[in-house]
Structure 1
């Protein structure tokens, strides 16, 4: 009798558990999305009709597959116009034409308002309220590559970000020396290759950009432990390859990250290796003493803050974010900029003349790059056409209002950077062309609404790697132009690809010779 009672009790408990799981799943994938959709439709907001569970993912996949097929047939050489948004996000363009600058769409259970209306974008991106923060799906759905440390958190942590990674550290003399040393190592490797190839070499530069950026960030982050840093960033690279394939299409599908698929198991294993490597470096640092580098600032931030409960996780997550902010953005931005300069010899020569005049045969330093106006214009234009951050995303953590739109808690707001960076109504009829002259009077003189220029994000949550990336780009590109003449290789195929950043899908091949 007692055994029978226990069996019934266990069955009842199991049923309650199953019902609880079902209710939770139903709320996540059906009830909550419908609530948000209804709240927006009542305000007259329209968008492509979503399907249950997948939202608009099938429509997006169809558009992306068609774009990939079109890119596969692309003629080699520079594109006639630089509209990577049409290649990567054609579905947004189609929806925008149909529904206007503000519409809603769904990625699985994730409900999003697309916003490119200038004044509403300004209001969203300059909002300092902690009620508008980092999307929760980035932590829940985007997996191990994105950390939850102080560099990307909502709430009180965010207010202290600049105390942890001070922008002025990026212009420190020691940091400049690191960038110069890594630049010289790169130049020497190219010189040897050019000499070995008889004076003209066909070089796939994006591979070298990755090595350069990885060397800089390893030395900047881990100081004398930079050899350990290089091993860590190699692991990051492998993890990035795994994660970048899943970022967009898996967003908004509940619990997908927790299913032990082969790719998820590989990512989890890499994450554990990275964590162990970072914490071993931290242990050694605590034993060896103080060093002036990014890791030290993170350690001191963790030590001095009373808001951090899991210190190890805080440190590991910040190292992940330094990788994304300092490594990935610089490598792809440098590759795109050199591709554009190789395609436009007139601008290449103008910038070279400026660099040679200012640097006088020396490798540029912080003071010199401040004077290189033409170089800054070209980099700004390159970042306009190929921004490393393609989407600025926010989530309403409480009910909010922007413009005439009441945004309920849980709704996400997306601004597509590639769209607003190339809109002819904002940038003029040549918006899809490489024209650094538009930045002759700075960003405020370049477009109708300067606040819509946001290659590294914008507002109070701008990417912390911005200053480091710009300093690296200026020293690297000015040094390259002072030593080499560049032209685009016949092997080059223009193929923007969407990973964690917008990158050259088939690489950038450049013909290079010594001056």
Structure 2
């Protein structure tokens, strides 16, 4: 009797397993295969996927091989500039691009992706006004602890509503009014560097200081408080950024060793998320009280977000609070991190090219004539603008333009099935010799002397801030801040790359110097 019961249990378990496998095959694998078939019929090929993991195993193998081949040893000046870091950070894309061309498809698990690096299709993807193309939902889910459902991460009507509130704060007329505080926020860093000098020289790691300046600017300009008050928020956001970024969060590429710690990692992320939200809410309530006690007609971004949440009929009390906190997280992070990293790359490249430091200095002397930078003089600083544009071409902080077809969508002559994620690799577009010419890997700011439209064959291939409806809202803010910070540094110091600098770009949501930027400064 017991033997019969045991045999029956085994048969039942086997039947359940068979049913599960049949369900997996019919509802998951066949669904993914149908999507791939639709793409293949349109001439879009790619590496063949395995049943359960798609191309994840192959991606991991290619990545591990690239890591073994990569060293962080010092490089000659030209090699640093010419270094094509996509081959070390995203080697699977480079390998497949050479094999399948500028458009190909691949899978991560049962999720289907399409790599698109044809300039005309990238332009159409970026400029599409349909809400059927949005940020990839699986990726935004991963970034939820960092960005909530704020403007950087949201889709559809929610995104459109948030943009309506946030965008006006970053229009150029508003940004020009922030110039004074940008100068004020930069001065303490310059004094700190001067005080650290021995016999007129100092070897300084600049990336941390640039983050503090950028954080101070965004705190004062958008939230009515200094960096010192929000220091904990920025510090914890940075910790959260590093934690999420580990183990190739983009596609779920983890080593078996790292996977053992996923539970611990999730706990750490959850704790940091709660701490950040609590700190932001404290700052919000503090700002709310300050606003009640003053009658100023000038409103900062936090006040606008507060008003937007309170007047939104679709938000209850809890949703209203989350709306405020999420958008503050977005501005705190996106508003300072990318700008600080861009400034680090600019200084690194200027360190290798002192002739461009001299040109910036000469232009500052002519434009400002010994006076402080102001809103009138800033547009006339053509040289520093060209240097920034070329730095953003060679080392754009944003690595991807990423979209998901939330419904079946047409892109050029390609029909994109619902659920397919589209990826454009920005540094590959920025270093394509067919677009930029044979000197693509050289630092040549003069290519932007007549603006972006004349700098390359396809201007739509220059996307450090994106283009179209989802253009980075902080573009004006970032460009003005970069011009001010670089102008002030170059006017006070001459500088060169430190022998301690290790060139190792790293992807941590944005492409940043993996070991920081070490520079030797000399007071002018």
TM-score higher than 0.5: yes
1:287 aligned partner: 289
Q: How many equivalent pairs are there?
A: 497
CA 424–58 in structure 1, closer or farther in 2 if over 3 Å, else same: same
C-alpha contact (below 8 Å) 1:84/1:386 kept by paired residues? no
CA 47–287 in structure 1, closer or farther in 2 if over 3 Å, else same: same
Q: How much does 1:62 deviate?
A: 2.8
Q: Which moved more, 1:267-276 or 1:461-470?
A: 461-470
Q: How much does 1:333 deviate?
A: 0.3
CA 356–249 in structure 1, closer or farther in 2 if over 3 Å, else same: same
CA 29–218 in structure 1, closer or farther in 2 if over 3 Å, else same: farther
* Matching residue within 355, 359, 362 for 2:368: 359
C-alpha contact (below 8 Å) 2:60/2:253 kept by paired residues? no
* Matching residue within 183, 194, 210 for 1:191: 194
C-alpha contact (below 8 Å) 1:82/1:433 kept by paired residues? no
CA distance in 2, matches of 1:402, 1:273: 42
1:142 aligned partner: 143
C-alpha contact (below 8 Å) 1:206/1:507 kept by paired residues? yes
1:273 aligned partner: 275
Note the residue ranges of structure 1 that are not aligned, 5 or more in a row.
1-16
Per-residue deviation, residues 257-306 of structure 1 (Å, max 9, x unmatched): 9x961111001000001111111222222233267322112112212333
1:4 aligned partner: none
Whether 1:332 and 2:345 are equivalent positions in the alignment is: no
Tell me, what secondary structure is at the counterpart of 1:398?
coil
CA distance in 2, matches of 1:27, 1:392: 32
2:69 aligned partner: 70
Whether 1:498 and 2:507 are equivalent positions in the alignment is: yes
C-alpha contact (below 8 Å) 2:134/2:403 kept by paired residues? yes
CA distance in 2, matches of 1:191, 1:482: 13
CA distance in 1, matches of 2:333, 2:397: 10
Tell me, what secondary structure is at the counterpart of 2:403?
strand
* Matching residue within 262, 265, 274 for 1:263: 265
CA 151–501 in structure 1, closer or farther in 2 if over 3 Å, else same: closer
Q: How much does 1:240 deviate?
A: 1.0
Whether 1:299 and 2:302 are equivalent positions in the alignment is: no
Per-residue deviation, residues 349-408 of structure 1 (Å, max 9, x unmatched): 111211232233344233222110011001000001111111001111111111221111
C-alpha contact (below 8 Å) 2:495/2:519 kept by paired residues? yes
1:181 aligned partner: 184
Q: How much does 1:152 deviate?
A: 3.6
1:433 aligned partner: 442
Q: How much does 1:252 deviate?
A: 8.9
Per-residue deviation, residues 205-251 of structure 1 (Å, max 9, x unmatched): 11211121122222223213654322211111111111121454544
2:119 aligned partner: 118
C-alpha contact (below 8 Å) 1:104/1:112 kept by paired residues? yes
CA 20–357 in structure 1, closer or farther in 2 if over 3 Å, else same: farther
Tell me, what secondary structure is at the counterpart of 2:77?
coil
C-alpha contact (below 8 Å) 1:77/1:491 kept by paired residues? no
Tell me, what secondary structure is at the counterpart of 2:335?
helix
CA distance in 1, matches of 2:238, 2:515: 17
CA 445–503 in structure 1, closer or farther in 2 if over 3 Å, else same: same
1:511 aligned partner: 520
Q: How much does 1:198 deviate?
A: 2.1
If the length of structure 2 is used for normalisation, what is the TM-score? 0.88
CA distance in 1, matches of 2:72, 2:136: 36
CA distance in 1, matches of 2:284, 2:329: 14
CA 29–346 in structure 1, closer or farther in 2 if over 3 Å, else same: farther
Q: What value does the CA root-mean-square deviation take over the aligned residues?
A: 2.8
CA distance in 2, matches of 1:276, 1:330: 25
2:426 aligned partner: 417
CA distance in 2, matches of 1:169, 1:319: 21
Per-residue deviation, residues 98-123 of structure 1 (Å, max 9, x unmatched): 11111101233321111111221121
Q: How much does 1:169 deviate?
A: 6.8
Tell me, what secondary structure is at the counterpart of 1:406?
strand
Tell me, what secondary structure is at the counterpart of 1:67?
helix
Q: How much does 1:174 deviate?
A: 5.1
Whether 1:216 and 2:214 are equivalent positions in the alignment is: no
Structure 1 residues 322-401: aligned runs within 5 Å: 322-401=331-410
C-alpha contact (below 8 Å) 1:325/1:464 kept by paired residues? no
